[in-house]
């Protein structure tokens, strides 16, 4: 628990607040929000530094690792792969198999996209396994008012990725089928010309549901998981008995969470591949 | 939990990562994996080929060995035969030579015998004549036999 005396509700709220950097209304300089109200008041033009920072670091870590392995494998393709290289190759093969299984078209973007999504989201989700107080406590020592360490519990992050995927889906739909084909798909089915409004409504919902479900599924799962960790962490303040019980619970939930973390990354990746596959296919 | 510009930042970061992955991570790894796959397949094929060749070679070697043994046996048999033949021949020649020598010796012995007999015979004749002469010389009386001698003179 935090060093300051907080109520449970304050503790939870503190843990769920992002480190937001923006301009307060009426003020002209950029600053960190020190309360949830301030963060809210900053409006759209504010940045969650923790989300961006952690995801950036993790993404760079991912690319650095894989680039290193790629260099090694290229420099010494006859050598016996070891350690990191084996690991990277294993993941790449896994992604490649998934993409080959679900994506029937030909697009050099899809496989690297799937790899990036899977590893990046997996790394972000894995931040959830770090005990909930460690990083915020460190941040507190560094003078930062908040620090939410799991980027995928910030809807900005999940929607950011989901909307990017959505953009790609629309882009490839139009590229493969033409503007007419894309609009036709939205307006002329499933009821034909006469059912135009119904078609637009159904297909529109269908289209919009893709990024929304993609983002909310990941966000919801990770947010709920994080919330349970926070609730368990509250038990550590309740005496030795409850604290020990909390420790056992935390361990159990963490083990279970490893599954959720991987599964959510995998689902996000698979759905992205499937959506892009649908974008490449004619429906008629 | 406010939606704010983090959304944009995250999208941009995402696209940059995907671009980097697509440019510098995925292709080299896939290429190297493909190459290695091909290499392993080639290696396995080469191994299989080598095994096959080894089998063939050992079969050939066995064949060669068998052939060589056969040839050696043939040569030995031939040599034995030849040796036996040579011995037979030598035996034959030796026997013939011996026979010839015996025959020659017998002939020369016969010749000698004949010659000795001849010489003996002539000597016997001479001795007989000489003996007769001596006897005759004592017996013959020129006067008593004058008429005989005269008769011979006349016949001449």
Is A99 in a helix, a strand, or coil? helix
ipTM for the assembly: 0.86
Give contacts of A46 with chain B, Cβ < 8 Å: 2, 4-6
Active-site residue, A72 included: no
A residues 136-165 lying closer than 8 A (beta carbon) to B: 151, 154-157, 159-161, 163-164
Question: With bands split at pLDDT 50, 70 and 90, how would you rate the model's confidence at A1?
Answer: very low
**Nearest by CB: A109 against B4, B11, B22:** B22
Question: What number is the average pLDDT over the span B101-119?
Answer: 92
A215 at interface of B, judged by CB pairs closer than 8 A: no
The helix or strand, by DSSP H or E, that contains position A21, with its residue range, turns out to be strand A20-23
**Structural domain includes residue A110:** yes
Q: Which of A8, A27, A206, A213 is catalytic?
A: A213
Contact residues, chain A, for B42 at CB < 8 Å? none
A27 within some domain: no
Say what the pLDDT of residue A70 is.
Answer: 87
Q: Average pLDDT of A186-210?
A: 85
Interchain proximity A52–B9, CB inside 8 Å = yes
A81: three-class secondary structure by DSSP: coil
What's the rounded mean pLDDT across residues A102-112? 88
pLDDT band at A284 (very low <50, low <70, confident <90, very high): very low
Q: Which residues of A touch B6 (CB under 8 A)?
A: 18, 46-48, 51-52, 154, 156-157, 160
Residue of B25, B28, B36, B39 to mutate for A, most A C-beta atoms under 10 A: B25
> A126 touching B, CB under 8 A?
no
Q: Is A221 a catalytic residue?
A: yes
Q: By the CB < 8 Å criterion, does A25 face chain B? A: no
Q: Using one digit for the tens of pLDDT, what is the confidence trace for A113-122?
A: 999 999 999 9
Measuring CA to CA, which residue among A165, A62, A68, A48 is closest to residue A123?
A62
Active site residue A9: no
**Residue % of chain A over a pLDDT of 90:** 38
Helices (H), chain B: 6-20, 26-139, 146-155
Best residue in B3, B8, B10 for a mutation probing chain A (most A CBs within 10 Å): B10
pTM of the model: 0.74
User: What does the mean pLDDT of chain B come to?
Assistant: 89
Partnered with residue A32 across adjacent β-strands are: A21
A82 touches chain B (CB under 8 A): no
Tell me which residues of chain A, numbers 37 to 66, contact chain B at a CB-CB cutoff of 8 Å. Answer: 39-40, 42-48, 51-52, 55-56, 59, 62-63, 66
Stretch B129-145: mean pLDDT:
77
Exposed/middle/buried for A198, CB within 10 Å: 0-12, 13-18, 19+? exposed
Domain count, chain A: 1
Which single residue is written with the structure tokens 């980097």? B20
Name the closest residue on chain B to residue A71, using Cα atoms.
B28
Instruction: Measure the CA–CA gap between A49 and B46, rounded to whole angstroms.
Output: 57
Task: Provide the pLDDT confidence category of residue B85 given band limits of 50, 70 and 90.
Answer: very high
Q: How far is A146 from chain B (nearest CA, A)?
A: 13
What are A153's two structure tokens?
A: 């519990």
Active-site residue identified among A102, A107, A156, A217: A217
- Confidence check: pLDDT of A2 > 60: no
Alpha-carbon distance values, B41 to A81, A82, B28, B46, B96 (Å): 17, 20, 20, 8, 81
pLDDT band at A3 (very low <50, low <70, confident <90, very high): very low
Does the residue A238 lie in any domain? yes
B14 CB within 8 Å of a chain A CB: yes
- A131 inside 8 A of chain B by CB: no
Between CA B38 and CA A78 the distance in angstroms is 11
CA distance B42 to chain A (A): 13
Contact A154, B5 (CB under 8 A): no
Residue A249 structural domain? 9-15+46-155+215-280
For residue A138, being part of any structural domain is answered with: yes
Report the distance separating Cα A119 and Cα B6, nearest Å. 20
CA dihedral sign of residues A71, A72, A76, A78:
negative
pLDDT digits (tens, 9 = 90+) for B27-69: 988 888 888 889 899 999 999 999 999 999 999 999 999 999 9
**pLDDT over 70 at A4, yes or no:** no
- Residue A46 and residue A39 in contact, taking contact as beta carbons nearer than 8 Å: yes
| Cα angle, residue A164 at apex, residues A160 and A167 outer, rounded to 5° | 140
The pLDDT of residue A238: 77
Closest CA–CA distance from residue B55 to any residue of chain A (Å): 29
Residues of A in contact with B43 (CB under 8 A): none
- pLDDT tens-digit profile of A198-207? 888 888 898 8
pLDDT of A78 strictly over 90:
no
Contact A52 B13 (CB under 8 A): yes
């Amino acid at each position: 628990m935090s060093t300051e005396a907080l109520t449970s509700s304050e503790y939870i709220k503190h843990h769920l607040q992002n480190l937001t950097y923006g301009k307060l209304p009426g003020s002209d300089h950029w600053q960190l929000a020190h309360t949830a109200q301030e963060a809210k008041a900053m409006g759209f033009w504010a940045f969650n530094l923790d989300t961006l920072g952690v995801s950036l670091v993790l993404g760079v870590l991912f690319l650095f690792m894989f680039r290193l392995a790629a260099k090694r494998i290229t420099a010494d393709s006859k050598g016996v792969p070891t350690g990191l290289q084996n690991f990277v190759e294993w993941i790449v093969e896994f992604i490649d198999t998934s993409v080959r299984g679900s994506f029937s078209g030909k697009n050099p973007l899809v496989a690297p996209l799937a790899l990036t999504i899977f590893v990046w989201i997996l790394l972000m989700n894995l931040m959830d396994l770090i005990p909930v107080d460690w990083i915020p406590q460190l941040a507190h020592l560094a003078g930062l008012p908040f620090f939410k360490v799991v980027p995928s519990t910030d809807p900005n992050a999940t929607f950011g990725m989901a909307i990017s995927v959505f953009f790609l889906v629309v882009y490839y739909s139009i590229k493969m089928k033409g503007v007419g084909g894309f609009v036709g798909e939205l307006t002329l089915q499933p009821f034909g010309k006469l059912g135009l409004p119904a078609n637009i409504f159904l297909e529109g919902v269908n289209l919009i549901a893709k990024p929304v479900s993609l983002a909310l599924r990941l966000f919801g799962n990770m947010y709920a998981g994080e919330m349970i960790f926070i609730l368990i962490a509250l038990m550590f303040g309740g005496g030795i008995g409850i604290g020990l019980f909390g420790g056992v619970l935390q361990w159990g939930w963490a083990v279970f969470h490893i599954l959720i973390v991987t599964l959510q990354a995998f689902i996000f990746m698979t759905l992205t591949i499937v959506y892009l596959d649908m974008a490449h296919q004619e429906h008629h | 939990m406010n939606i704010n510009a983090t959304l944009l930042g995250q999208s941009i970061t995402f696209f940059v990562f995907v671009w980097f992955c697509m440019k510098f991570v995925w292709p080299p790894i896939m290429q190297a994996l493909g190459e290695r796959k091909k290499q392993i397949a080639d290696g396995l094929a080469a191994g299989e080929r080598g095994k096959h060749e080894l089998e063939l070679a050992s079969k050939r070697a066995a064949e060669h060995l068998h052939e060589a043994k056969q040839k050696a046996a043939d040569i030995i048999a031939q040599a034995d035969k030849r040796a036996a033949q040579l011995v037979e021949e030598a035996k034959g020649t030796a026997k013939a030579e011996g026979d010839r020598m015996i025959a020659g010796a017998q002939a020369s012995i016969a010749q000698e015998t004949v010659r000795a007999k001849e010489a003996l015979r002539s000597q016997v004749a001479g001795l007989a004549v000489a003996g007769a002469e001596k006897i005759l010389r004592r017996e013959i009386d020129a006067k008593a036999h004058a008429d005989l001698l005269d008769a011979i003179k006349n016949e001449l």
